[in-house]
């Protein structure tokens, strides 16, 4: 590990020299590429430098203890030694995590698909609340959200909503959100005050570029129709909505959020590319099932991953057995604690797998 860290430190120092070269600065493409590489290496290098400093402090403290007779200085050296040893242990653990192979998809934008499941109108209302939860979280991260398609139920609930979240490292944060989300509460549609259990499914799909997925136009059928539901001028009065059917897989995408048929068509193809990309990812994950054993899943929509219990004000993630009693904050978009615990659990599982090997 430390040979690799030395190599990375050397590369980081080379990058600093290259980026200070006026010729490199004048080449926007190369400059951007080198800046990205430097940014990726910075957390590792900073931690490694801190680790080396702590190791040096240990040597200095031991040397002082061997040569110094002054009891007060010796006590200070002992304190410094204990603190430095603790720091070395913490830095070693952090470096192991930083050196884990990175998911090449982590920097991608995502397309989020939320569907009401069991529970009728209450499930649709919960799906709408999940949408607002993710939209508010995206806003706190200064990410951009873009509606792709929306199918409402007339009570303010969403039978289905598809939207894109764009920004830095979106997939790395949200990739563990796919699955069945369960809600337990008294629905607004319930007159007897009984607690009901309803579900909504969430799919997080990395945005697929045209280079990631090639779609043969002959494999697709495109139908146009008049948009339904709420909309502004022209949305409900022209055949601007698009239904895209991918014949080999049977996947059907509908987009009606835009007034322009062309824009809806482009959005439909964007969603289709991501769905096809996700199918390939699921296939690959199944092939690597043994390697992924014990790790947090990212793709199984049938897996019940989380329960939102309103009477008790708690939210429980069943995969990592983590419970938060801040349900109101979570529904208002404060989900970072949940995501951090999922990411930490995945990293721990990967480290355990590496140690076994």
**Average pLDDT of the segment spanning 202-206:** 94
Angle at the Cα of 254 from the Cα atoms of 250 and 258, rounded to 5 degrees: 155
pLDDT at res. 200: 95
**pLDDT at residue 79 above 60?**
yes
**Average pLDDT of the segment spanning 250-277:** 89
Q: Which of 244, 240, 214, 218 is nearest to 227 (CA)?
A: 240
**pLDDT at residue 222 above 50?**
yes
Each residue's pLDDT tens digit, 299-349: 455 679 999 999 999 999 999 999 999 999 999 999 999 999 999 999 988
pLDDT band at 44 (very low <50, low <70, confident <90, very high): very high
Within this chain, do residues 150 and 219 fall inside the same structural domain, yes or no? yes
**pLDDT at residue 67 above 90?**
no
Residues 6+ apart with CB under 8 A from 14: none
pLDDT at res. 56: 94
Query: Whole-angstrom Cα distance, residue 37 to residue 218?
Result: 40
**Average pLDDT of the segment spanning 37-53:** 93
Q: Is residue 236 in a domain?
A: yes
pLDDT at res. 287: 63
- Model pTM score: 0.76
Q: Is residue 356 in a domain?
A: no
Q: What are phi and psi of 118, to 5 degrees?
A: -70, 130
Q: What b/e readout covers 118-156, taking b as 16+ CB neighbours within 10 angstroms? A: ebebbbbbbbbbbbebbbebbeeeebebeebbbbbbeee
**pLDDT at residue 175 above 80?**
yes
Gyration radius of the chain's alpha carbons: 26
Query: Whole-angstrom Cα distance, residue 315 to residue 308?
Result: 5
Q: Is residue 103 in a domain?
A: no
Q: Is residue 84 in a domain?
A: yes
Under DSSP, the state recorded for 332 is T
Within this chain, do residues 326 and 185 fall inside the same structural domain, yes or no? yes
Within this chain, do residues 124 and 90 fall inside the same structural domain, yes or no? no
- Of 42, 77, 98, the one marking the end of a domain is 98
Q: Is residue 104 in a domain?
A: no
38-42, 76-80, 153-157, 236-240: least confident range: 236-240
71-75, 86-90, 233-237, 349-353: least confident range: 233-237
Within this chain, do residues 121 and 261 fall inside the same structural domain, yes or no? yes
pLDDT band at 259 (very low <50, low <70, confident <90, very high): confident
In three-state secondary structure terms, 47 is helix
Query: Whole-angstrom Cα distance, residue 135 to residue 119?
Result: 23
pLDDT at res. 43: 92
pLDDT at res. 356: 64
Reading the block at residue 357, the tokens are 């090997």
Within this chain, do residues 228 and 282 fall inside the same structural domain, yes or no? yes
Within this chain, do residues 75 and 121 fall inside the same structural domain, yes or no? no
Q: Is 255 exposed, middle or buried (0-12, 13-18, 19+ CB in 10 A)?
A: buried
Number of residues assigned to the chain? 357
Each residue's pLDDT tens digit, 111-128: 999 999 988 889 999 999
Q: Is residue 255 in a domain?
A: yes
- Of 71, 98, 125, the one marking the end of a domain is 98
Query: Whole-angstrom Cα distance, residue 172 to residue 175?
Result: 6
Domain that holds residue 15: 2-98
Within this chain, do residues 178 and 324 fall inside the same structural domain, yes or no? yes
Q: Is 308 exposed, middle or buried (0-12, 13-18, 19+ CB in 10 A)?
A: buried
Helices (H) and strands (E) in the chain, counts: 10, 11
Q: Is residue 28 in a domain?
A: yes
Q: What is the CATH number of the domain that holds 69?
A: 1.20.58
CA dist 248 → 206, 219, 245, 283 (Å): 21, 7, 9, 16
Within this chain, do residues 326 and 205 fall inside the same structural domain, yes or no? yes
Q: What are phi and psi of 69, to 5 degrees?
A: -105, -20
Instruction: Choose from 69-83, 303-317, 343-357 the range with maximum mean pLDDT.
Output: 303-317
Q: What is the CATH number of the domain that holds 324?
A: 3.30.70.1660
pLDDT at res. 294: 47
**pLDDT at residue 284 above 80?**
no
pLDDT at res. 296: 61
Per the structure, the count of domains in the chain is 2
- Of 98, 127, 148, the one marking the end of a domain is 98
Q: Is residue 105 in a domain?
A: no
CA dist 345 → 13, 119, 293, 297 (Å): 33, 31, 13, 11
Within this chain, do residues 134 and 183 fall inside the same structural domain, yes or no? yes
Within this chain, do residues 84 and 122 fall inside the same structural domain, yes or no? no
Within this chain, do residues 86 and 132 fall inside the same structural domain, yes or no? no
pLDDT at res. 124: 94
Neighbours of 328 (CB within 10 A): 11
Query: Whole-angstrom Cα distance, residue 124 to residue 112?
Result: 16
Within this chain, do residues 71 and 114 fall inside the same structural domain, yes or no? no
């Amino acid at each position: 590990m430390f040979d690799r860290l030395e190599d990375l430190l050397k590369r980081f120092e080379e990058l600093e020299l290259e980026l200070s070269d006026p010729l490199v600065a004048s080449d926007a493409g190369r400059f951007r590429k080198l800046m990205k590489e430097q940014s990726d290496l910075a957390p590792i290098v900073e931690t490694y430098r801190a680790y080396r400093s702590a190791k040096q402090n240990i040597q200095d403290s031991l040397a002082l203890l061997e040569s110094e007779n002054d009891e007060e200085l010796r006590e200070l050296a002992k304190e410094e030694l204990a603190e430095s040893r603790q720091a070395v242990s913490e830095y070693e653990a952090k470096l192991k995590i930083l050196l884990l192979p990175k998911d090449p998809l982590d920097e991608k934008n995502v397309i989020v698909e939320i569907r009401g499941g069991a529970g009728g109108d209450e499930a649709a209302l919960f799906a709408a609340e999940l949408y607002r939860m993710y939209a508010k979280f995206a806003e706190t991260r200064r990410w951009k959200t873009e509606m792709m398609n929306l199918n409402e139920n007339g009570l303010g609930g969403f039978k289905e909503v598809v939207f894109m979240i764009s920004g830095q490292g979106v997939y790395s944060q949200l990739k563990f959100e796919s699955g069945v989300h369960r809600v337990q509460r008294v629905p607004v549609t319930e007159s007897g005050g009984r607690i009901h259990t309803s579900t909504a499914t969430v799919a997080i799909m990395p945005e697929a570029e045209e280079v990631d997925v090639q779609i043969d136009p002959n494999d697709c059928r495109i139908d146009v129709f008049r948009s339904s539901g709420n909309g502004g001028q022209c949305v409900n009065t022209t055949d601007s909505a698009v239904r895209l059917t991918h014949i080999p897989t049977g996947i059907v995408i509908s987009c009606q959020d835009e007034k322009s048929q062309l824009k809806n068509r482009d959005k439909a193809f964007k969603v289709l590319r991501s769905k096809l990309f996700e199918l390939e990812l699921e296939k690959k994950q199944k092939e690597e099932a043994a390697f992924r054993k014990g790790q947090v899943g990212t793709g199984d929509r049938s897996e019940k991953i989380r329960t939102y219990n309103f009477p008790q004000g708690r939210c429980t993630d069943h995969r990592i057995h983590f419970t938060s009693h801040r349900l109101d904050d979570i529904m208002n978009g404060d989900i970072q604690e949940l995501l951090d615990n999922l990411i930490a659990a995945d990293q721990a599982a990967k480290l355990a797998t590496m140690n076994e090997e």
